[in-house]
Amino acid sequence: MKKVLLGNTGMEVFVLGFGGIPIQRVSQEEATEIILECRDRGINFIDTAQGYTISEQYIGNALKKAGRENFYIATKAMCHDYDSMKAAIENSLKSMQLDYIDLYQIHNVSKMEQLDKSFSENGAIKALLEAKEKGIIKHIGITGHIKEVLLKAIEHDEIETIQFPYNPVESQGTELFERALAKGIGTIAMKPMAGGAFTKHKLSLKYIANSNLISVAIPGMDSVKQVVENVSAVENLQPLTQEEMDEIKNEVQEIGNNFCRRCGYCKPCPEGIDIPSVFIFEGYVTRYNLPEYGKSRYDALPVKATACVRCRKCERKCPYNLPIVEKLKHAVETFKNC
C-alpha cells in the first residue's frame, strides 16, 4: 500500500487517515473494532483532539489491542499560552496512556491575535518545543479554517504540518497547501466530505488523493463499514475519469451557495456573533449526529445567534452570497430543539 512522507517529519503515512470526532457516539468496544480495522486496512495515522470528549480515551484504550507501533498519533488543543498548552500535552498523554505523541497541533487558530500569542515569549510554542525536546511529542502542527492565518503560521519554522479543510466544495486552501509543500510542511485535509455536505464520499476521497496537494486526508469514521468503503476509494488509486469529474461537478452545483466555507469574511459581526463557529457547531448536530457535543460547543460561545439584529452586513461581505441571516435563524431553531 503506497505511503507518502508527511512533509519533512519522516512519518510515512497512507493517504487516508482516521479522524477522531465521530467515535464519540459509539461505545469503547465499537471504537476498538474500528481502530483494528484501520490497522488491518493500512491506515496508520490517527487524528483526534482533547476537546473531542472521550475520543482520546477511546483511542488510547484501542491501541492496547491494535498496537501503538502501528500508528502515528496526532492530537491537538485550543491553547495559545505556555501554561495551558503544557497542561494540555500532559492531559493528552494521560488520556491516551502514551509515552509520546507523534504530532501535537495548536487547534483551530482563527485569529492573528491567537497566532501571535502562540508564538509569544510565553506562548503555546514554548511548551510544545519543550515537550519536543523531552521526546514526549515528536512534531508540531497547527490547524484552522482561516487561510490567511495559516499562511502566516507557516512562515514560522517550528510548524511541521498544517491541517485545513479540503474537498471538491472547498478548494480555498490550494494556495496554502502549495506554499506549505514547497517548505516541506506536511498537509492534512480535514473535512474531506465538507462536513457531511458532500454525499459522494468515495469520489471526494479520490478527488483529494489525486490533487497532489494532500499528504493525508482524515475523514471521521464511526463504523467498520465506513473504514472498508473509504479505503476502497484510494487503495488502488486511479486518475478521475471524465464521468467521475462530471459527477463531482454536479454534486458541487447541487450543494450550491448555501454552504459555509468558514472563510471568515463575514467577520466581525457588529453584535459579536462568531458566525462560522455557529454553523460549524450546528453541523455537529445536523450532519455528524453529535447533538450534545454541538450544543455544548454552541453554549460556550459568548454571543449566541439570537443576538442577530438582521443588519445583513455579514451578507454583504460574504463572497459566496450566503443568506447568513436566515441560516443563523435556522441555527437558533436547531439548538433550541437539541
pLDDT tens sequence across 265-282: 798 999 999 999 999 999
Q: What is the pLDDT of residues 273-316, one digit of tens each?
A: 999 999 999 999 998 889 999 999 999 999 999 999 999 999 99
**Percentages helix, strand, coil for the chain, rounded to the nearest 5?**
50, 15, 40
Superfamily of domain 3-246: NADP-dependent oxidoreductase domain (3.20.20.100)
pTM of the model: 0.87
How far apart (Å, rounded) are the C-alpha atoms in residues 256 and 250?
10
Which of 49, 34, 44 lies closest to 215 in space, CA to CA? 44
The C-alpha cell at 155 is 512562515
Q: Is the pLDDT of residue 82 over 90?
A: yes
Alpha-carbon distance 169 to 287, whole Å?
16
Query: What letter would DSSP give residue 337?
Result: T
Does pLDDT of 257 surpass 70? Answer: no
H helices of the chain, where? 28-41, 55-66, 82-96, 112-118, 124-134, 147-153, 174-182, 201-209, 224-234, 242-255, 275-286, 291-299, 313-317, 324-336
Amino acid making up residue 266: C
Q: What is the pLDDT of residues 223-254, one digit of tens each?
A: 999 999 999 999 999 999 999 999 999 988 88
Could you tell me the residue ranges of all domains in the chain? 3-246, 275-336
Please, is 151 exposed, middle or buried when counting C-beta atoms within 10 Å of its C-beta (0-12, 13-18, 19+)?
middle
300 CB-near residues (< 8 Å, 6+ apart): none
Rounded to whole angstroms, how far apart are CA atoms 150 and 163?
Answer: 9
Question: Which residues lie closer than 8 Å to 112 by C-beta, 6 or more apart?
Answer: 148, 149, 152
